[in-house]
Chains A and B, each alone.
Chain A
Amino acid sequence: MQHSLRYRRGQAGIATILLILVGTSIFMSLVYVTYELISYYESERQKISQLETERLEENIIIEKIGQGLGTIHLNITNVGAVPVLVRYAIVVYVEGGELKFAYDEVNVYLNIGESLYNVKLDISPPTNLKYIILVTSRGRSFIKVVETTSSRSGGKI
């Protein structure tokens, strides 16, 4: 009789342990899933935060604009705290009394403090050039005003 009681207690103990194991594994998997998702979100947030910080530290100067045969030449200097990749150049000009624009892919890389001379834009030099905007890979735009506009067309303030 004593043996039987001990045996049943043993069975109940095994059942309890099994239930605890199942409960623990469920709880652990829930914790793991939540941790995995939160860490993924956090890493993405940090990546974006770094991008935005670097974006604010970008600064380039268009020092000189020259005109070649069917091309525009620029002298650019990186005066910011991060290297810069200039992706595009937008050229705004007046033709026939109307404000127009053209753009070209540049893809020029400038290290901190570096100056590049005669960066070529495959845009025919217009007679009435107004301004040139350079767009970087981090989405910043830097403008060089050549001449102020006065026609009934508009540009970004």
Chain B
Amino acid sequence: MKVSVRYSISEIISALLLTIIVLSAIGILCIFMSNYFTERKSVLYLIYSSNAEKLKERIAIVYVHYNDTGLYLCIYNYGYVNAEIGSLYINNTLINKELITPLSLPVNKLTIVYVNVQLSEGVYYIKIISSRGNTYATFIKI
């Protein structure tokens, strides 16, 4: 009779211990996985959203004008996001950003970008790289 009672108590204790161990293991695992997924989700979202934004950025250089005061680029943003000029090249020469005004290209607007440069006669290749990494190019004959 005594032996039977001892077995019963140890069974209850072992069951309790097992439950506690399993629950705490699951709890630790859940916390760890939750943190892991939150981090991964935000990283994944960042990658996908930045790619989507790059895709949604669309600009067209509709007209390029040059006169003695400088170079004028008529740029129309027909995309879904505002764009910004990251860098501008004329015949593969990087133009200082301070010479370009404005740099921002709002959605559905025609922006006249003024570049304070002096060019001699010839054909020039103008390349714009946006801050999201898209490239737009055109030629101008002076």
Q: CA separation between A17 and B108, bound complex, in Å?
A: 56
CB-CB under 8 A for A26 and B62, given A45-B55, A135-B110, A152-B142: no
Binary A-proximity of B92-130 (CB < 8 A = 1, otherwise 0): 000000000000000010101000000101010000000
Give chain B residues whose Cβ lies under 8 Å from the Cβ of A34: 44
Partner pick for A4 among B11, B40, B55, B121, CB 8 A cutoff: B11
Complex contact A138–B78 (CB within 8 A): yes
Q: CA separation between A41 and B29, bound complex, in Å?
A: 31
The count of A-to-B residue pairs whose CB atoms sit within 8 angstroms is 129
Q: CA separation between A153 and B141, bound complex, in Å?
A: 8
Give chain B residues whose Cβ lies under 8 Å from the Cβ of A117: none
Binary A-proximity of B54-70 (CB < 8 A = 1, otherwise 0): 01101111111111100
Is A157 close to B, CB under 8 A? yes
**Complex interface: stretch among A59-67, A75-83, A92-100:** A92-100
Interface size class of A (residues with CB under 8 A): 35 or more
Interface size class of B (residues with CB under 8 A): 35 or more
Q: CA separation between A38 and B108, bound complex, in Å?
A: 27
Complex contact B59–A139 (CB within 8 A): yes
Is A114 close to B, CB under 8 A? no
Partner pick for A51 among B44, B58, B67, B121, CB 8 A cutoff: B58
Name the distance in Å between A6's Cβ and chain B's nearest Cβ: 11
Name the distance in Å between A124's Cβ and chain B's nearest Cβ: 18
Complex contact B67–A100 (CB within 8 A): yes
Give chain A residues whose Cβ lies under 8 Å from the Cβ of B121: 152
Q: Across the two chains, which residue of chain A brings its CB closest to B64?
A: A156
Complex contact B65–A157 (CB within 8 A): no
> What is the predominant secondary structure among interface residues of chain B facing chain A?
mixed
Q: Looking at B52, B55, B77, which has the most chain A CB atoms within 10 Å of its CB? A: B52
Is B13 close to A, CB under 8 A? no
Give chain A residues whose Cβ lies under 8 Å from the Cβ of B72: 101
Name the distance in Å between B40's Cβ and chain A's nearest Cβ: 8
Complex contact A48–B108 (CB within 8 A): no
Complex contact B110–A155 (CB within 8 A): no
CB-CB under 8 A for A7 and B76, given A26-B37, A30-B37, A155-B64: no
Name the distance in Å between B22's Cβ and chain A's nearest Cβ: 5
Complex contact A153–B142 (CB within 8 A): yes
A-B residue pairs in contact (CB < 8 Å), sample of 29: A8-B14, A18-B22, A19-B26, A30-B37, A33-B44, A37-B44, A38-B48, A40-B52, A44-B56, A45-B52, A47-B56, A48-B55, A88-B110, A90-B74, A90-B110, A99-B66, A101-B74, A135-B62, A135-B74, A141-B76, A153-B65, A153-B66, A154-B119, A155-B141, A156-B61, A156-B62, A156-B65, A156-B138, A156-B140
Extra contacts, 4 of them, besides A40-B48, A153-B68 (Cβ < 8 A), are: A26-B37, A33-B41, A44-B52, A135-B60
